[in-house]
């Protein structure tokens, strides 16, 4: 606040000097080190890509190709209500707010002041007197970014916004893939449970037949006990499958941002596993496009840029800090005179602050920022390598799971035929019951493995699209 009335009016020469200073501030340079990105040697295509797959953008929202309205609805609910997605969105809003704050720091700060005081003290003639003092004005403060501190802070904030946006996309990719994977697991478990219950019914009928033969003296107690053991063994699998089904339903509900039992009514009805033919993996892109497309790599890259900019912020502490400031206003001894021309006053100046002796504090902060920047670069390198590994691994699992499912389907057909033959031969007495038991065990195992492989083929397809991160066209 200005308390003296003996200040001169602001002259045009002072404004010209201020303009020159501003021009110098706008030419400030950054102290941030250059960013060097990790660039591995990449091939033209993926080693484990399916035969005939093209280097084109993967299909958008692939889960819609299954033509399953419930799956579509679950993914949509998860993308809007999942806690991870909402948390990432909140982080993005925070980054945007901090970016606006960093932008504002480059501009002057203007405030309003007003005051009234009664002052007693000697005047210029040494006579003690008591006077009133009234003031009103504008306070202006502006840090001149001569050495790039504010500019680097702004660049770090902008990079954090990019990282936040990539974080939202990464969360969406992960959540959508998790919903689809658990949904296919659910349908696979339902099929396994159906197979187990069907096999149990068949085995119970066989047990009744063996017991009936024993009652009339045509069977043996050994056959009855073996049949009973197979029934109990099959029945023991059912509680484990039911438990897995319950946990999977709960997992889907929580992924959709709801309490665990909220979706039981929707998910309990048994439905067949969606076919994979409608979502054939025909386009996988290229490794170079993958690294540009994956949001986790975009996030890591933005974090590298933010960390490098923070190094510039730390280094700028080695240089002086210049702040322009002042007050424009009115100052008078009488309230009635406050609006008159003679009451106009100003105070304009510059302040330079330079820490010349801090016993290594600034150097330590610079070293810490350098280490964080190096750590961010290593994390970026790790993200690139992990993306390539995940994609190649997912493609390898997908192509092999397709072959496995085809072979297990043939095996299940053969096992079903073998069990039928064994039961017919036992019925006419041309073979013993041990052969029937072995055939029934093989049939149950083959059907169970087929159900698992079919669900596995679907989940490996989900893993491929998650790894490719292509076409995840979500809000």
Domains of the chain, first to last = 1-23+107-144+320-353 (2.20.200.10), 31-103+145-317+368-468 (1.20.1600.10)
Whether the full predicted model's pTM is greater than 0.75, yes or no, is: yes
CA-based nearest residue to 132, from 5, 266, 291, 270: 5
Determine the distance from the C-alpha atom of residue 235 to the mean position of all C-alpha atoms in its chain, rounded to a whole number.
42
Ranges assigned E (strand) in 123-266: 128-144
Cα 29 to Cα 152: distance, rounded to the nearest angstrom: 9
Collapse the DSSP code of 121 into the 3-class scheme (helix H, G, I; strand E, B; otherwise coil) and give the result. Answer: strand
Bridge partners (DSSP) listed for residue 141? 109, 325
- Percent with pLDDT over 90 in the chain: 36
CA-based nearest residue to 94, from 174, 165, 175, 170: 165
Residue 23 has what pLDDT? 40
Position 24 confidence tier, pLDDT thresholds 50, 70, 90: very low
CB atoms within 10 A of CB 151: 24
Cα 441 to Cα 102: distance, rounded to the nearest angstrom: 69
Cα 320 to Cα 467: distance, rounded to the nearest angstrom: 48
CA-based nearest residue to 132, from 392, 406, 295, 335: 335
- For the segment 224-274, what is each residue's pLDDT rounded down to a tens digit? 888 888 889 889 999 999 999 999 999 999 999 999 999 999 999 999 887
Position 338 confidence tier, pLDDT thresholds 50, 70, 90: confident
HEC string for 51-113: CCCECCCCCCCHHHHHCCHHHHHHHHHHHHHCHHHHHHHHHHHHHHHHHHHHHHCCCCEEEEE
DSSP symbol at 283: B
Cα 32 to Cα 55: distance, rounded to the nearest angstrom: 38
- Of the listed ranges 83-92, 97-106, 360-369, 451-460, the least confidently predicted one is 451-460
- In sequence order, the 6+-apart residues with CB closer than 8 A to the CB of 434 are 223, 226
Position 401 confidence tier, pLDDT thresholds 50, 70, 90: confident
CA geometry: angle at 459 spanning 453 and 462, to 5°?
150
Judged against a pLDDT cut of 50, whether residue 5 lies above it is answered with: no
- For the segment 95-106, what is each residue's pLDDT rounded down to a tens digit? 999 999 999 988
C-alpha Rg value of the chain to the nearest Å: 38
Question: What tokens does 204 get?
Answer: 């119970």
CA-based nearest residue to 383, from 459, 470, 308, 467: 467
CA-based nearest residue to 241, from 178, 191, 202: 191
Cα 441 to Cα 430: distance, rounded to the nearest angstrom: 20
Burial class (CB in 10 A: 0-12, 13-18, 19+), 360: exposed
Residue 328 has what pLDDT? 81
- Of the listed ranges 159-168, 304-313, 415-424, 426-435, the least confidently predicted one is 426-435
- For the segment 142-174, what is each residue's pLDDT rounded down to a tens digit? 888 888 889 999 999 999 999 999 999 999 999
120's enclosing H/E stretch is strand 109-122
């Amino acid at each position: 606040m200005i308390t003296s009335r003996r200040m001169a009016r602001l002259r045009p020469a002072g404004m010209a000097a201020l303009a020159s200073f501003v021009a110098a501030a706008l030419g400030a340079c950054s102290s941030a080190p250059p960013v060097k990105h990790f660039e591995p040697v990449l091939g033209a295509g993926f080693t484990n890509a399916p035969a005939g797959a093209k280097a084109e953008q993967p299909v958008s929202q692939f889960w819609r190709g299954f033509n399953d309205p419930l799956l579509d609805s679950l993914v949509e609910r998860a993308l809007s209500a999942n806690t991870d997605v909402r948390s990432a969105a909140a982080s993005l809003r925070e980054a945007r707010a901090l970016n606006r704050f960093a932008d504002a720091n480059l501009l002057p700060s203007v405030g309003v002041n007003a005051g009234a005081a009664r002052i007693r003290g000697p005047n210029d003639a040494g006579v003690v007197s008591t006077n009133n003092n009234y003031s009103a004005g504008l306070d202006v403060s502006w840090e001149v970014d001569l050495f790039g501190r504010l500019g680097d802070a702004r660049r770090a904030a902008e990079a954090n916004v990019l990282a936040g946006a990539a974080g939202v996309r990464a969360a969406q990719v992960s959540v959508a893939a998790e919903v689809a994977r658990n949904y296919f697991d659910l349908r696979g478990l339902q099929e396994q449970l159906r197979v187990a219950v069907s096999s149990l019914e068949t085995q119970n009928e066989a047990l009744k037949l063996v017991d009936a033969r024993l009652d009339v003296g045509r069977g043996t107690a050994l056959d009855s006990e073996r049949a009973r053991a197979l029934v109990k063994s099959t029945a023991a699998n059912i509680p484990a499958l039911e438990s897995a089904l319950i946990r999977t339903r709960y997992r889907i509900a929580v992924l959709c941002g709801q309490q665990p039992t909220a979706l039981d009514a929707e998910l309990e009805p048994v439905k067949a596993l969606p076919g994979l033919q409608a979502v054939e993996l025909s386009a996988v892109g290229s490794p170079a496009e993958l690294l540009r497309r994956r949001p986790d790599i975009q996030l890591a890259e933005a974090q590298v840029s933010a960390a490098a900019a923070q190094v510039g912020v730390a280094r700028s502490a080695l240089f002086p800090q210049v702040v322009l400031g002042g007050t424009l206003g009115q100052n008078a001894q009488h309230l009635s005179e406050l609006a008159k021309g003679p009451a106009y006053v100003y105070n304009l100046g510059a302040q330079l602050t330079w820490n010349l002796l801090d016993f290594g504090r600034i150097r330590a902060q610079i070293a810490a920022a350098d280490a964080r920047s190096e750590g961010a670069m290593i994390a970026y390198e790790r993200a690139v390598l992990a993306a390539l590994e995940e994609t190649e691994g997912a493609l390898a699992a997908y192509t092999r799971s397709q072959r496995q499912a085809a072979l297990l389907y043939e095996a299940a057909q053969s096992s079903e035929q073998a069990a039928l033959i064994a039961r017919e031969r036992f019925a006419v007495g041309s073979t013993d019951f041990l052969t029937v038991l072995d055939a029934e065990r093989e049939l149950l195992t083959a059907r169970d493995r087929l159900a698992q492989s079919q669900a596995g083929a679907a989940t490996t397809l989900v893993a491929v699209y998650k790894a490719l991160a292509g076409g995840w066209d979500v809000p």
